[in-house]
Each structure stands twice: as structure tokens, then as C-alpha cells.
Structure 1
Amino acid sequence: MSTPLRLVIFDVDGTLVDSQGDILGAMRHAFGAVDLEVPSRDAVLGIVGLSLPVAMARLAPDAGPAVQDELVEGYKSAYVDMRAKVGAAQSSPLYPGARDSLEQLHATPEVLLGVATGKSKRGLDSLIKAHDLGSFFVTQQVADFHPSKPHPSMILQAMADTGVDPENTVMIGDTSFDMEMAQSAGVRSIGVSWGYHPVSALRGAAEILTDFAALPTAISRLWER
């Protein structure tokens, strides 16, 4: 009996790349531009993974829709400017071991790789180009075309794109939003400890990893269960 196709979906910020410097910097610029108090580091990292309109509504709930829209646009502009100054590869570096794990998984014939991110398509395209990741991901789900995490739309579309069943799909992420999204989509999840939410928030994960090198083995254990 042949091995079924399997799908491994990655979150991006806080899972594959460490982009917190740009995220925090862009948020400081956006809030300063509208004369609002800048949220704390923990508050900002706590919303990473959400689509920007949802994130700004959480960070500035009393500001009103018009100001929240200004925050979104101010953040986007600042993020693009900062990335242009130093390049996406330097401002959002891959976590140690990320490329090796991607290469190992990509080399397995029955395994397909995808991403599901709160980034825009433009932001993801820039990051993939900077890190030369274009050959890895057969499905790329971004905030432009989906409701914000933890809605399951991104995972459901990734499975539709690849024809992989829920029991053969796993979501890899660093936030509670990733774990909740996986649960809503009926797939399993693996949490990573090096990202932006505390490990205690990764409820529902089949495993919590502390080292990227352990990911391929953890995924293999998951398929065996």
C-alpha cells in the first residue's frame, strides 16, 4: 500500500523567521503617527499572526475604525520602508535549523509543504525571494484572501489546493492562533517554543518543539500515531 500524500503547513513570523524587530519598529511608527501610546512589547507580539485590521482593533479598541485604518496603513508603510533599508533576509532572518528542516521534508516524496500566514502576499513574496524559499511551498495562504486566524480558511484552502485529507495534514506554529486554527480545521498541530506566544498558550499541540532539528522526527511520530 502506497504512502498517502501529506501536507505540512508552516506559520511564518515567529515560526520560520524572526521578524520581531521590524514588527515592533513598524508598530511604534504607526502608533506615534496618530499620537497614540505605543503598546507594550508583549501586547504587540501577542497579536502576531492576526490579520492587521484585527490586530489593530485589539491593540487600540477605543480608537475607532478610522484611526484603526490609519494604524494599519502606517504599519504597512513603515514595515516596507524598514525592510527596504536592510533587506528582508537580514531584517527577518530564518531561525536556526529552519532551512535544513525544510530541505529534509521537501526531499520526502510524499510530503508537500505550505504556509499559512497573517502576512500580505507582497510581504510573503518578498520574504520568500530574500531567503530563496520559492521551491519549497506548493501552497501559500496569506491574509489578503482569508479571514484572520484562527478562522480555518487558510488550512482548508491549503488542503483543497493539494488534495490532502485532514488526517494527513499538520500545522506548525508559535501562537495560540495557529493551534486554534488547526483545531477548527480538524488537523493536528505542532507548537514551537522559540516564537512569540508563551508555550503555555499552545494548547492542543501534539508536541512542543524547542529545536527546529527535531521537527522532521516529530512529524514522523505524528504520522505513526
Structure 2
Amino acid sequence: MRLVIFDVDGTLVDSQADILAAMGRAFEAVRLAAPERARILGIVGLSLDVAMARLAPDADHARMVQAYKDAYMDLRAQSGAAQSSPLYPGARAALERLSAREDVILGVATGKSKRGLDKLIEGHGLEGVFMTQQVADFHPSKPHPSMIHQAMSEAGVSPDRTVMIGDTSFDMDMAAAAGVYGLGVDWGYHPVAALGAARAILSDFGQLETALDEAWKATA
């Protein structure tokens, strides 16, 4: 068996509108001006407590995290997960193709909470697609390799048969730390130049199976 682990925000779904709006409310909660868009998107993928500490070192991080979570859920409730965090073009078809393969197990490793991931999966009708789901509630923040280690343990798959797909340096550094193949994507929130630990870069979901075949060959 082979294990393919996806990051979520910036890789499978484009949730930047809600992320930026929720972060704005988090900064309002502590009476600070929100950073510019690029700086906020630069911390996507980190666990919220770590992200807030980077963006506002001297602020009340617990208050910011709670304000962010409340705002994010409010925004999602207004329009639904499918509208607030749409899948990137080709993502659903790629997931369906991989799900149909008998030699592939799918998973996610995300900085989202379990509640947030559950809502997203439900909103997009992806129940049953991801055999292993690793969230921020139960792990150190990326790029610590804990999420990938747990995913491999649950799937019963070794590092040489595991690929981590993500859009940020945190994803690729996490893959390297876990000793698995890191496949970066160029449509997410970090520039390609930041994905230095990636073994290869994907520019379209239509290229995914070919890229995975190359990954398996490289780690054989």
C-alpha cells in the first residue's frame, strides 16, 4: 500500500478569504491592526497558537485564537464550507481517482482543528475519502513530523511509500523531518521559492498521478 497525505488550506481548498477575515477579527479582539495579507498567508499551516505568537508576540494569544475560531465558524455558517472554502480546480476529480485505486490510502495533515476539518469534509461531501486525519488538536505544530508519523502508523505504511503534498514550507519541512517524499504545489499560499525542501513541484491536479509515480520510483 501507498499513503498520500494532503495538506488542506492552500492545497485542496482555497480558504484565504475566511482566513484573512477571521484574522482581522482576532486582531480586533486585542485592539491591534491586522498585518498585511502576505504576512497572514505566510503563517497558514501553523497551529493557531504558534501563528498568533509569530504575528503578535506580545498580545493575548489565547484571546486571539478564540476570536479567530469563533469568527471562522461564523463566516462558514453564513455561506457553507463549499462556498467559503472551495476546492481548487481538479482537486475533487483527483481525489476520486486516487480513492478508486486499491493500492492507495489517502490522508490529511492540517493545522485546522478537528471541528473545522469535520465541517469542511461534510460541506464538500468527502466523508470516507481520508482514512487517516491528523489535526492541530492532537499534535505539535508543523513542521514537527508528528502528524506524518501518526498517519503512517494508522495506515501501516512505511516512509518510503508515503508522499506529503502541500503548499507551504511548513508542509515540505515536515515531510523532510519525517523522512517522506515532499511534493509541493504552486497554487497555494507560499511562493515556490519557499518550498526548498520539496522533492518536486506540482502545478496542476491533472499532473498528480504522474508526479506520484515519479515519487514512488524515487523512493523505491
Shorter-chain TM range is over 0.9
- For 1:58, the equivalent position in structure 2 comes to 54
- The answer on 1:111 being equivalent to 2:107 is no
2:127 to 118, 134, 140: 134
- For 2:182, the equivalent position in structure 1 comes to 189
Amino acid at match of 2:210: T
Secondary structure at the aligned position of 1:171 is classed as strand
Q: How far does residue 100 in structure 1 lie from its aligned partner after superposition?
A: 0.7
Amino acid at match of 1:168: R
- The answer on 1:18 being equivalent to 2:11 is no
Q: How far does residue 135 in structure 1 lie from its aligned partner after superposition?
A: 2.1
Secondary structure at the aligned position of 1:16 is classed as coil
Unaligned runs of 5+ in 2: none
- For 1:178, the equivalent position in structure 2 comes to 171
Amino acid at match of 1:79: Y
Matched positions, count: 218
- The answer on 1:28 being equivalent to 2:21 is no
Q: How far does residue 136 in structure 1 lie from its aligned partner after superposition?
A: 1.1
- The answer on 1:202 being equivalent to 2:195 is yes
Cα distance in 2, alignment partners of residues 192 and 212 from structure 1: 9
- For 1:216, the equivalent position in structure 2 comes to 209
**Alignment deviations for residues 172-213 of structure 1 (CA, whole Å, 9 cap, x no partner):** 000000000000101011000000000001112121111111
Amino acid at match of 1:34: V
**Alignment deviations for residues 55-85 of structure 1 (CA, whole Å, 9 cap, x no partner):** 000000122xxx1111000000000000000
Amino acid at match of 2:10: G
Cα distance in 1, alignment partners of residues 206 and 120 from structure 2: 22
TM-score using structure 2 length: 0.98
Q: How far does residue 158 in structure 1 lie from its aligned partner after superposition?
A: 0.2
- For 2:67, the equivalent position in structure 1 comes to 74
- Structure 1 runs of 4+ with >2 Å offset: none
Amino acid at match of 2:180: V
Secondary structure at the aligned position of 1:114 is classed as strand
- Identity score, percent: 67
2:141 to 136, 142, 148: 148
Secondary structure at the aligned position of 1:115 is classed as strand
TM-score using structure 1 length: 0.96
Q: How far does residue 88 in structure 1 lie from its aligned partner after superposition?
A: 0.6
Amino acid at match of 1:161: E
Secondary structure at the aligned position of 2:131 is classed as strand
- The alignment yields a C-alpha RMSD, in angstroms, of 0.7
Cα distance in 2, alignment partners of residues 206 and 216 from structure 1: 15
**Alignment deviations for residues 81-116 of structure 1 (CA, whole Å, 9 cap, x no partner):** 000000011000000000111111111111000000
Q: How far does residue 127 in structure 1 lie from its aligned partner after superposition?
A: 0.2
Cα distance in 2, alignment partners of residues 220 and 45 from structure 1: 30
Q: How far does residue 37 in structure 1 lie from its aligned partner after superposition?
A: 1.3
Moved more, 44-53 or 29-38: 29-38
